[in-house]
Chain A
Amino acid sequence: MTGAACALYASRAGLDVIVVDRGPVAGGTTGAGEGNLLVSDKEPGPELDLALLSNRLWGELAQEFGEAIEYEAKGGVVVATSPGSLTALEHFADGQRAAGVVAETVAGDALYALEPHLAPGLPGAVHYPQDSQVMPALAAAHLVRTSGARLLTGRAVTEVLRTTDGTVRGVRTHSGDIHTPAVVNAAGTWGGELATLAGTSLPVLPRRGFVLVTETLPRMVHHKVYAADYVADVASDSAALQTSPVVEGTAAGPILIGASRERVGFDRSVPLPALRALAAGATRLFPFLSDVRAIRSYAGFRPYMPDHLPAIGPDPRVPGLFHACGHEGAGIGLATGTGHLIAQVLTAKTPGLDLAPFRPDRFPEETP
């Protein structure tokens, strides 16, 4: 997704773009996650600023791509499960409002008017109308196609070519070299490996997540609904399993429940406890789901950085190398803003947001 957005904005900025991927379109984490474009889960700070910029840009793209990318501005409802968490949630929302987020506290009948099938007796919630969604794989495929960039799938980058003074001059793939003065690392969870190929380092690590998908249903869940403990979880540093089920109905019919968060490296086996926790969280919010069947689950590996912020912008250590990776559980949402900012720095414009918090060289150098 990130690479697709970079391609679109860069080619609209007048650049000649080639997209190289070792797999197919959306074959990485983009094809293994959900497409929530959330502002609701972000605390005030650089990530929220990027999310708000991205949110606006997604809205613009929606005008252009219409249904092809399944954009839906359905809004989010963050539910407090106890009076205490409602207070915490309202406090959190106050801060977000100051940063430009639209957030409305809802309780009682108003809450059940938004989501009639929620469990009875919930103390309240915050409604975030800006939360929206796309279908990530379709979005990536259509953005690449519309960008007019040359798409080279099935070609792995094996080396970043550099001149004797260290400046980037292209990439080597197993089927030939591609010469270019600028290389954007949008390799997601594998962004660290790509940085290594360019002779530098970037600490991107995998964080596993599972999503449960139910059978097709008539619309029963109208927004993105999740419990308030999600907010604490995103910023947490704990490696233990924490499940924060975002429950949402999709246009196609199934309900998606996700996602779990675990740091277990690239382990692909399916652990029942993680799936059970997702199901338990979802059925607590929506008791009717108990009788609904899960037909599948899928897993992906979010690209996460130690401080939970992506790396966006030029790498001062390697002239000509730009990074656009490490977006963790928000890479779909943040893709448009990231692509837009990357296009600005590629064309030597002043970026619309301060890139300092996203500097790729902000981490201490790894000593191998």
Chain B
Amino acid sequence: MKKYDAIVIGAGHNGLTNAAYLAKAGLDVLVLEMNSYIGGATVSRELHKDWKYTNCSYVCGLLRPEINRDLELPRHGLQVVPYGGGVTFMENGDYYGNFSDHNRQHREMARHSVRDANAYERYGADVTKQTRLIRKFLLRTPPDPASWKMSDIKEMMVLAKTVMDMKTDVNFGDTLKYWTKSVGDFLDEYFESDIIKAHLGGTGIIGTALGVYSPGTAYVLLHHYMGDVDGTAGAWGFTRGGMGAVANALASSFKSFGGEIRTDAKVKQIMVRNGKTTGVALEDGTEFYADIVVSNLEAKRTFLGIMDEKDLPEYVIERAKNFKSRGSSGKVNIALDGLPTFPALPKGTPLMAGDFHFTDSLTRMEKAYDDWKDGNFSRDPYVDTLIPTLTDPTMAPPGKHMMTCFVQYCPPKIQGREWTDADRDAFGQTVIDQVANYSPDFKDLILHAEVRTPREIEAEIGLTEGNIFQGELTFDQLFSNRPFPGYGQYRGPVKGMYMCGSSTHPGGGVMAAPGANAAREILIDLKRNNTVPEGYADD
């Protein structure tokens, strides 16, 4: 029976990144994916003829440039294309637009508040300072603060030094504030205008089962600004051909190092003998052997789903059960027969190429959260909508369009009971109505729609409760605490077993950092030549 050097469970983008680095280091690696397609939440599928959807993740901005370059993803077909524009519609018929030109942006802000237009400079500088601090640690393994191991102490020193070095730029006290306060409070410190706060505030609740005034949401906003498309920090783009292109390029890179991927291979169990992993068993009974088994799955699923409780310390079972992975988001993907018009906007405006929002105050956002707390989807949802086909010609036939709507909030269960198809359709209709409020011809253009509630997201890609980040991005579950204290360094409780998904540092989003960091730790344990990029070249 063949024995691999390593088996990676799950062909999400982190599993593939991990596998690519292991294979690059010369290991014989097998990736097992339960679906018939790869990518996990990084996927583009054709569900309506000639239309490709970005079924889950839809924009790319966090993907670490070091990894993109190092694994030669462009050569393997990955093209990240930035987009401009963006708009928040207002109930009074006006709008707030987002412009890439700094001075044009200032003028647009001043239309709503002269003071806010000026305060935006302070806001921009502060956000940049904070993300610069975090960015350094994305491609590093967090130290275990409770450990006396030399490597941990060293890494704590790096952390302390970074904070000290930045003392003149950021006050660490402020940093702690940003990591723990609410996005509402954060924005209130800069802005007076409801619409500007609403436009900026949405990123603080994306994928998060918290409201704009819940502590911890300011960090979620920072998390979304952490990326840098070619040094333009905070910039977002589309991947040409949809987010599936990220997975495809990673898979191609992985295969170029001799890696093997098997789809339709659902892992039932990580096999353990004498406190060491020996391989995995599939649902269909097939077994594969390796001394190293890496799970790309969310932490709950990893420990409570595909591991035997007997093989695990009590502590891990308890922590896994208490790991917060609450579903709060839905997704509606729509095939359109033409470009919908939005009468509030000037004709032919470049704003259309960016994100559309329909929530013009933090109060409305907070109310949307109230519905979630009551076990309902939001009646007046916060929607992040894009028409990628205004930038990417590959997703729909010429002249036709594809729309992606990311929706906050959508509960994992409806009033404590399971979702029904009728509930799902009602949810989809609410989202469509929200868009249609601002676009009279929108509904007539709809040819097909894919509606995804946490039920579908969990069933199709195994994200527990449909939590898009494989676990909430709150401070209690970040850095060395991700997924649990004592397990923040990608190693599992059983020898040879590792974690590499978004449940590990630095968390969710199409970033590829968890997968790369995990590979680094594995290679260290194997005493192999370590080729995984580390740290961040700051300027």
Q: Are A and B physically bound partners? A: no
